[in-house]
Structure 1
Amino acid sequence: MRARHLARRCFGDCHAIPRRLGDFANRLVQWRSAKSVRSLAQVRQTTPQRSDGDCAKPETTLPDYLAPGLDIVLVGINPGAYSVRAGHYYARPGNRFWKAANRAGLFGEPLEPEADARVLEFGIGLTDVVKRPTPTARDLRAADYRRWAPVLKEKVRRFQPRIVCFQGIGSYRNYLRYGEGLSAPPRPRPGRQARALEFSVVFLVPSPSGLNTLYSFEDLVNCYRQLRALRDEIRSA
């Protein structure tokens, strides 16, 4: 009796071993699969996202929002490092662009930095004179304008907006120097400019950066209102 009992116990345990090994193997596969998924998620989260901007490292700048025949193309100085990290134009809280443009009614509805791509819905584009990001515009070099000003000129020639609005007096002068070949460009005043860019009217707005203390918030609002009025005038012509 004892021998039969031991035989049955051994027989049962021998059959249980493969099942236990199978359970262990399944758990091992599941653990490895879960680990692989976590690793893949980490890679996806840390992999830089490429953008459409013209830059030696496209993933480190902001994309251009351009299309043929826009009413206005707003041209910033260059992407700020803060905005590039945020992934949106004029994203730094101290920048006055969105608040001033919204107050002036430049868009069909109030927009925030996170909705910057939607400007195209209202016939407006976004780009920069220089696409290399820096902490501030003061960190730009002459070589940056020498490289990028001709690129901007080609973009305007390609997309032919009705109005090109430079947002920054100094950056417009640097564009004239390195994009149009003017050795001593005059210091312009905000508003419509006498000189066209290709077939586009040029309008100048002071830099909306919070570091620009020469122009108040109301000054910026008035400039954007004039820009809106010019757009409406050209539309109806």
Structure 2
Amino acid sequence: MVAEGLRVLFCGINPGLWSAATGHHFARPGNRFWPVLHRSGFTPRQLAPHEERELLEHGLGITNVVARASARADELSREEYETGGRALERRVARWRPAWLAVVGVTAYRAAFGERQAGVGPQERTMGGTRIWVLPNPSGLNAHWQPAAMAEEFGRLRAASEADLTDG
């Protein structure tokens, strides 16, 4: 679900089995993406996965690094990540979002060979698109609690809003 010139293009790792079955991103109950997106101020209310098209009204979109669905991201091969990274670069060149937000530091590292990357803004860009790595909102990611996750998403929101006032 994308359009040209988005403020932020969120990029998940790959569809989970629940998301693949429903046809909606971050659809598994317990995934914290939608609550964190709202809590960080990106949306005026918490959207449900089936309402994802409403993101376009806010200059936001969603895609994935890898298209193949799996129960867990660790089922993906290095080749799938690298191939997905190259495909994502082509999509970013076509859609030209201001920010690409890769949701999952492990996915970013694997897709782009950035072994030392951490959460936050990255030095690497894709053309004019800046990159921000966000924590993975999966319920399996116990390292990040919702409040801290919302704070990091909020840092990206503030940066993307600053772009609107600067430009």
Query: Taking structure 1 as the reference length, what is the TM-score of the superposition?
Result: 0.68
CA distance in 2, matches of 1:77, 1:187: 18
* Residue number in structure 2 paired with 1:158: 94
SS at match of 1:201: strand
Superposed displacement of residue 88, structure 1: 1.0
RMSD of aligned Cα (Å): 1.1
C-alpha distance in 2 between matches for 1:174 and 1:109: 33
**C-alpha deviation, 1:192, in angstroms:** 1.2
Contact 2:5 2:97 in 1 (8 A): yes
Aligned to 2:143: 214
Alignment of 1:1-237 (within 5 A): 65-177=1-113, 185-237=114-166
How many residues in Structure 1 have an aligned counterpart in Structure 2? 166
The whole-number CA distance in structure 2 between the counterparts of 1:206 and 1:219 is 9
Q: Which has the higher strand share?
A: 2
Give the whole-Å Cα distance in 1 for the aligned partners of 2:83 and 2:123: 25
Q: Which has the larger radius of gyration?
A: 1
Q: Do the aligned partners of 2:83 and 2:111 also contact (CA within 8 Å) in 1? A: no
Shift, 1:188, TM fit: 2.0
Give CA deviations for 1:106-163 in whole Å, capped at 9, x if unaligned.
1243311110121111100100111111111111111212322111100000010000
Please tell me whether the aligned partners of residues 108 and 122 of structure 1 are also in contact (alpha carbons under 8 angstroms).
no
Instruction: Give, in whole Å, the separation in 1 of the partners of 2:97 and 2:25.
Output: 19
| Matches of 1:143 and 1:188, distance apart in 2 | 19
Kindly indicate whether the alpha-carbon contact (under 8 Å) linking 2:8 and 2:59 is maintained by their aligned counterparts in 1.
Answer: yes
Map of 1:52 onto structure 2: none
SS of 2:11 mapped into structure 1? strand
Counterpart CA distance in 1 for 2:70 and 2:102 is: 18
Q: Which has the higher contact order (CA 8 A, sep 6+)?
A: 2
Is the Cα contact below 8 Å between 1:106 and 1:228 reproduced in 2? yes
Q: 1:146 to 1:175 in 2, by over 3 A?
A: closer
The residue identity in structure 1 corresponding to 2:9 is V
3-state DSSP class of the match of 2:125?
Answer: coil
Counterpart of 1:232, as a letter, is E
More helix by share: 1
- Tell me if structure 1 keeps the 8 A contact 2:82–2:112: no
Amino acid at match of 1:101: L
Q: Distance in 2 between matches of 1:235 and 1:85?
A: 36
- 1:84/1:133 contact within 8 Å kept: yes
